[in-house]
Amino acid sequence: MNVYKPGNVKHKTGKVIHRRIEIERVKKMAFKIGVIRGDGIGPEIVGEALKVLQKVSEKYSQEFEYTEILLGGASIDVHGEPLTKEALAAAKECDAVLMGSIGGDTTTSPWYKLPANLRPEAGLLAIRKGLGLFANMRPAYLYEELKDACPLKEEIIGDGFDLVVMRELTGGLYFGDRKTTEENGLLTAVDTLTYNEEEIRRIAIRGFDIAMKRRKKVTSVDKANVLDSSRLWRKVVNEVAEDYPEVELNHMLVDNCAMQLVRDPKQFDVILTENMFGDILSDEASMVTGSIGMLSSASLKEGSFGLYEPSHGSAPDIAGKNLANPIATILSAAMLLRYSLNMDEAADAVEAAVKQVLKEGYRTVDIMSEGMTQCSTTEMGDLIAARI
Ligand code: IPM
Ligand code: MG
* Other residues' Cβ atoms within 10 Å of the Cβ of residue 322: 14
**Whole-number Å distance between alpha carbons of 274 and 196:** 12
Query: Amino acid identity of 116?
Result: A
Q: Is 48 in the pocket of ligand 1 (CB under 6 A)?
A: no
Nearest CA to ligand 1 atom 2: 279
Question: Has residue 20 got a pLDDT over 90?
Answer: no
Closest-CA residue to 387 (of 345, 356, 360): 356
Q: Which of 148, 191, 243, 255 is catalytic?
A: 255
Mutate which of 124, 131, 167 for ligand 1? The one with the most ligand atoms within 8 Å of its CB, which is 124
Contact, 371 vs 360, CB < 8 A?
A: no
pLDDT score of 185: 97
In this predicted model, which residue has the larger pLDDT, 1 or 322? 322
Q: Are strands 64-68 and 96-101 parallel, antiparallel or unpaired?
A: unpaired
Question: Has residue 236 got a pLDDT over 90?
Answer: yes
Q: Are strands 16-25 and 2-10 parallel, antiparallel or unpaired?
A: antiparallel
Segment holding 316, helix H or strand E: none
Ligand 1 centroid to Cα of residue 279, in Å, is 6
Q: Could you give the percent of the chain with pLDDT greater than 90?
A: 87
**Whole-number Å distance between alpha carbons of 297 and 138:** 5
Of ligand 1's atoms, which has the minimum distance to the CA of residue 128?
A: 12
**Whole-number Å distance between alpha carbons of 23 and 134:** 43
- Report the predicted TM-score, pTM, of the whole model to 2 decimal places: 0.90
Residue 232 phi, psi (nearest 5): -65, -40
Q: Could you tell me how many residues make up the chain?
A: 388
pLDDT score of 169: 98
Query: Amino acid identity of 295?
Result: L
Ligand 2 centroid to Cα of residue 127, in Å, is 15
Of ligand 1's atoms, which has the minimum distance to the CA of residue 124?
A: 7
Ligand 2 centroid to Cα of residue 311, in Å, is 8
What are the distances in angstroms from CA 35 to CA 70, 125, 250, 329?
8, 17, 38, 12
What are the distances in angstroms from CA 341 to CA 50, 51, 101, 118?
15, 18, 22, 33
What are the distances in angstroms from CA 36 to CA 98, 300, 307?
6, 16, 10
Question: Has residue 121 got a pLDDT over 90?
Answer: yes
Number of H helices and E strands in the chain, helices first, is 12, 16
pLDDT score of 263: 97
Q: Which whole number is the average pLDDT over 156-181?
A: 95
Q: Which whole number is the average pLDDT over 256-262?
A: 98
